[in-house]
Amino acid sequence: MELTGLEREFLKRLAHGPWASPPLFDHSLVARLVDDGLVQTESLPGGSVQYEITDAGRAEIEQA
């Protein structure tokens, strides 16, 4: 998978731990990572979403 710079940076940051988005975060920016199974999400109260890298996501950034 050819990652954009933003997608690659997002995965690298998630490699250090999960991240909870602010309610107004544009989730479409990283939707492809979720759709491809590189990142998993969990809805949080207040409209936030928690993002966490998967094993497939870790493998993807190790290959880059």
pLDDT at 23: 84
Helix (H) or strand (E) holding 5: helix 5-14
- Strand ranges inside 1-64, DSSP E: 19-20, 39-43, 49-53
Q: Where are the domains of the chain?
A: 5-63
Question: And the tokens for 32?
Answer: 């492809």
pLDDT string in tens for the chain (64-residue length): 899 999 999 999 999 999 999 988 999 999 999 999 999 999 999 889 999 999 999 999 998 6
Token look-up 């890298």 returns 53
pTM of the model: 0.90
Fold of 5-63: Arc Repressor Mutant, subunit A (1.10.10)
